[in-house]
Amino acid sequence: MGFDFDRLVVDDVSRHFGRRRALSRVSLTCGAGTILGLLGPNGAGKSTLLAILSTLLAPTSGRVRYGEHDARAAGPMLRGRLGLLGHDLYLYPELTARENLEFFARLYGLDRPRDRVDGALANAGLADRAGDAVSGFSRGMRQRLALERALLHGPRLLLLDEPFTGLDDASGRALVNRLRGLRDEGAIVIAATHDLDLAEGLLDEVAILREGRLLAVPRAAGPLRERYREAIVEAGAAAAREGRAR
């Protein structure tokens, strides 16, 4: 394994789309063996931040460092250590579950792709549907398969956008256990989610975004949902005060 890193640093990152500011001066740090939850209402900038972290989008200003490296310099080697499960699942519906995974295994140049794919299909609970086209799968089955696609190459940084979408209770709990396992193996997991119940007890750190800005997370102990609500309400009140002052 040539390229690796044990720390992700987001330093003063902003991203504008024309006049719209999707992210504004976001800074955070995340070490190996950590699950960071990205919380926030719709349009807060969570997916934009994940796209920047995955190197698919360049920040307008600021920089992201993966250990000692930055995205532009590390290029393909860095991408080999990233796994992304987007809101869209990046699967080819015309191909079977096995063909999808084998395609990505070969794209990543993995050794023994068939063995890896067999393991991934077993992890997804889809070994008996390996030969079926993905177009016939339910959303939950696709979600499980897409997670295995993102994990196939053993990424150091795993980026998840709404990973619990479409999963039933058992699959949701299985995913929670899987993410804990990855954390124990030293992965950096960043998950954007609205499912605060499943995220409760899973997340080591929480970052809350609202209108592209990172909010202060209340330090007081208490359920995640309450701390989240408190942060959002406080940010709303601060924005109203700022508006009146102008």
- Residues found near other proteins in the complex (CB under 8 A): 54-58, 76-80, 82, 84, 86, 88-95, 99, 103-104, 106-109, 133, 149, 153
Nearer to other proteins, 94 or 115 (CB): 94
Least Å from the CB of residue 117 to other proteins? 14
Q: 163 to each of 8, 87, 150, 180, 184, how far by Cα in Å? A: 20, 8, 11, 14, 19
C-alpha of 36 from chain center:
9
Q: What whole-number distance in Å separates Cα of residue 193 and Cα of residue 110? A: 30
Nearer to other proteins, 153 or 227 (CB): 153
Q: What is the dihedral of CA 123, 91, 208, 9, to 10 degrees?
A: 80
Which residues lie across from 210 on neighbouring strands? 213
- Among residues 200, 218, 198, the alpha carbon closest in space to that of 208 is found at 218
For the CB of residue 92, give the shortest distance to other proteins in the complex, in Å: 6
Shortest approach of other proteins to residue 207 CB, angstroms?
22
Cβ distance to other proteins smaller for residue 84 or 198? 84
CB nearer other proteins, residue 103 or residue 195: 103
Closest approach, Cβ 233 to other proteins, in A, equals: 34
The answer for residues whose C-beta is within 8 angstroms of residue 230's C-beta and 6 or more apart is 218
Instruction: Report residue 151 as tokens.
Output: 């994990």
Nearer to other proteins, 85 or 235 (CB): 85
Find the shortest distance in angstroms from Cβ 75 to other proteins. Answer: 8
